[in-house]
Amino acid sequence: MAFGGGCELALACDMIIASDRATFGGPEIKVGLLPGFLIIRLHQVVGMARAKEMIMTGDPISAQEALRIGLINKVVPHEQLMDNCMELAGKLMSVAPLALRVYKASVNRFLGGEEYKHSLDVMLYLMATEDQKEGVSAFLEKRKPVFRGR
């Protein structure tokens, strides 16, 4: 399961090879929070409509669905995951490191800036709300939260 921070960490990677057992999602909205990095980056990867659906519902998606929408690069049988990752790592180790570094810097140059500040501001705001406290309490108590918009 790559939920919340796990999905954010995966999205920060250059490439994602997933087990056929993997699931991805950002369930934070269900407890009154938002997945910080996902609200910045997910729509750039999977498109606005799909990102809104994933974040606004908090529902997880399968590895096959993640592949279909472009969130991940490849789905492999669970037992072959490490072998596939090592094979990809070997390919990356065989290319020119300076060219690889410059390419990564080029495609990632738009990351950062105002969207990160906004994400941080939003997270700090939500962490101080009654709804967030209720959402986390309900989660820990295994009950449905009662949100009041405060």
- Catalytic residue from among 28, 53, 114, 134: 28
Would you call 134 a catalytic residue per the annotation? no
Residue 3: burial class (beta carbons within 10 Å; 0-12, 13-18, 19+): middle
First vs last C-alpha separation in the chain: 30
Which residue shows structure tokens 């060219």? 99
Would you call 28 a catalytic residue per the annotation? yes
Residue 46: burial class (beta carbons within 10 Å; 0-12, 13-18, 19+): buried
Could you give the residue numbers annotated as active site? 8, 28
